[in-house]
Structure 1
Amino acid sequence: MNTQDTIISYAKKTIAEEAQAIAYLEELIDEEFAKAVETIQNSKGRVIITGIGKSAIIATKIVATMNSTGTPAVFMHAADAIHGDLGNILKDDVVICISKSGNTPEIKVLVPLIKNFKNPLIGITANKNSFLGQEADFILHAYVDKEACPNNLAPTTSTTAQLVMGDALAVCLLHLQGFSSRDFAKYHPGGALGKKLYLRVSDITSGNEKPQVSPDSNINEVIVEMTEKRLGVTAVVDQEKIIGIITDGDLRRMLTTNTSFDGLTAKDIMSPNPKTITNTAMAVDALEVLEENSISQLLAAEEGKYSGVVHIHDLMREGIL
Structure 2
Amino acid sequence: MSDTQSILSIAKRTLETESKAIENLIDQLNDQFAEAVQYILESKGRVIVSGVGKSAIIASKIVATLNSTGTPAVFMHAADAIHGDLGTIQDNDVVVCISKSGNTPEIKALLPLIKIGKNKLIGMTGSMDSILAKQADFVLSTYVEKEACPNNLAPTTSTSAQMAMGDALAICLLELRGFSSADFAKYHPGGSLGKKLYLRVADIVINNQKPQVDATSGVKDVIVEISEKMLGVTAVMENNKVVGIVTDGDIRRMLSKYDNIGELTAKDIMTANPKSVTIDTLAVKALKTLQDNGISQLLAFDNGSYAGVVHIHNLINEGIL
Common fold by TM > 0.5: yes
For the residues of structure 2 that align with 1:227 and 1:55, how far apart are their CA atoms? 58
After TM superposition, the runs of 4+ consecutive aligned structure 1 residues lying more than 3 A away are none
Match of 1:279 in 2: 279
Write out aligned runs for 1:10-21 (5 A).
Answer: 10-21=10-21
For the residues of structure 1 that align with 2:181 and 2:95, how far apart are their CA atoms? 27
1:242 Cα shift? 1.6
Match of 1:208 in 2: 208
**Structure 1 residues 223 and 91 mapped into 2: Cα distance closer, same or farther (>3 Å)?**
same
For the residues of structure 1 that align with 2:128 and 2:63, how far apart are their CA atoms? 23
For the residues of structure 2 that align with 1:299 and 1:239, how far apart are their CA atoms? 17
Letter in 1 for 2:291: E
Write out aligned runs for 1:179-198 (5 A).
Answer: 179-198=179-198
Match of 1:158 in 2: 158
Please tell me whether the aligned partners of residues 237 and 306 of structure 1 are also in contact (alpha carbons under 8 angstroms): no
Please tell me whether the aligned partners of residues 216 and 267 of structure 1 are also in contact (alpha carbons under 8 angstroms): yes
Moved more, 151-160 or 132-141: 151-160
Match of 1:103 in 2: 103
For the residues of structure 1 that align with 2:150 and 2:218, how far apart are their CA atoms? 77
For the residues of structure 2 that align with 1:255 and 1:5, how far apart are their CA atoms? 55
Match of 2:242 in 1: 242
Task: Tell me the alpha carbon deviations over residues 108-132 of structure 1, each in whole angstroms, 9 at most, x when there is no partner.
Answer: 1100100110111000001111100
Please tell me whether the aligned partners of residues 17 and 148 of structure 1 are also in contact (alpha carbons under 8 angstroms): yes
For the residues of structure 2 that align with 1:268 and 1:9, how far apart are their CA atoms? 63
For the residues of structure 2 that align with 1:49 and 1:292, how far apart are their CA atoms? 45
Task: Tell me the alpha carbon deviations over residues 18-63 of structure 1, each in whole angstroms, 9 at most, x when there is no partner.
Answer: 1111111000111100000011100111100000111101100000
1:2 Cα shift? 5.4
Letter in 2 for 1:224: V
List alignment gaps of at least 5 residues for structure 1.
none
Please tell me whether the aligned partners of residues 242 and 304 of structure 1 are also in contact (alpha carbons under 8 angstroms): no
1:291 Cα shift? 0.9
For the residues of structure 1 that align with 2:291 and 2:121, how far apart are their CA atoms? 51
For the residues of structure 1 that align with 2:166 and 2:201, how far apart are their CA atoms? 37
What is the DSSP-based 3-state SS (H/G/I as helix, E as strand, rest coil) of the residue aligned with 1:154? coil
Is residue 126 from structure 1 mapped to residue 110 from structure 2 by the alignment? no
For the residues of structure 2 that align with 1:318 and 1:6, how far apart are their CA atoms? 41
For the residues of structure 2 that align with 1:60 and 1:298, how far apart are their CA atoms? 43
Task: Tell me the alpha carbon deviations over residues 235-266 of structure 1, each in whole angstroms, 9 at most, x when there is no partner.
Answer: 01223322100011111222222222333211
**Structure 1 residues 119 and 239 mapped into 2: Cα distance closer, same or farther (>3 Å)?**
farther
For the residues of structure 1 that align with 2:319 and 2:64, how far apart are their CA atoms? 23
Match of 1:144 in 2: 144
Please tell me whether the aligned partners of residues 290 and 312 of structure 1 are also in contact (alpha carbons under 8 angstroms): yes
**Structure 1 residues 215 and 148 mapped into 2: Cα distance closer, same or farther (>3 Å)?**
same
For the residues of structure 1 that align with 2:249 and 2:271, how far apart are their CA atoms? 10
Is residue 48 from structure 1 mapped to residue 13 from structure 2 by the alignment? no
What is the DSSP-based 3-state SS (H/G/I as helix, E as strand, rest coil) of the residue aligned with 2:33? helix
Task: Tell me the alpha carbon deviations over residues 90-120 of structure 1, each in whole angstroms, 9 at most, x when there is no partner.
Answer: 1111000001111111111100100110111
Work out the percentage of aligned pairs sharing the same amino acid.
64
Task: Tell me the alpha carbon deviations over residues 179-236 of structure 1, each in whole angstroms, 9 at most, x when there is no partner.
Answer: 1111111111111111111110011100000001121222222122112211111001
Please tell me whether the aligned partners of residues 143 and 158 of structure 1 are also in contact (alpha carbons under 8 angstroms): yes
Is residue 293 from structure 1 mapped to residue 293 from structure 2 by the alignment? yes
Query: TM-score if structure 1 supplies the norm length?
Result: 0.97
Write out aligned runs for 1:223-234 (5 A).
Answer: 223-234=223-234
List alignment gaps of at least 5 residues for structure 2.
none
Match of 2:34 in 1: 34
Letter in 2 for 1:303: N
For the residues of structure 2 that align with 1:155 and 1:232, how far apart are their CA atoms? 55
Aligned length: 321
Is residue 24 from structure 1 mapped to residue 24 from structure 2 by the alignment? yes
**Structure 1 residues 156 and 243 mapped into 2: Cα distance closer, same or farther (>3 Å)?**
same
Please tell me whether the aligned partners of residues 18 and 148 of structure 1 are also in contact (alpha carbons under 8 angstroms): yes
Is residue 66 from structure 1 mapped to residue 58 from structure 2 by the alignment? no
What is the DSSP-based 3-state SS (H/G/I as helix, E as strand, rest coil) of the residue aligned with 1:242? strand
For the residues of structure 2 that align with 1:70 and 1:112, how far apart are their CA atoms? 29
Moved more, 216-225 or 308-317: 216-225
1:320 Cα shift? 0.9
Match of 1:259 in 2: 259
Letter in 1 for 2:264: L
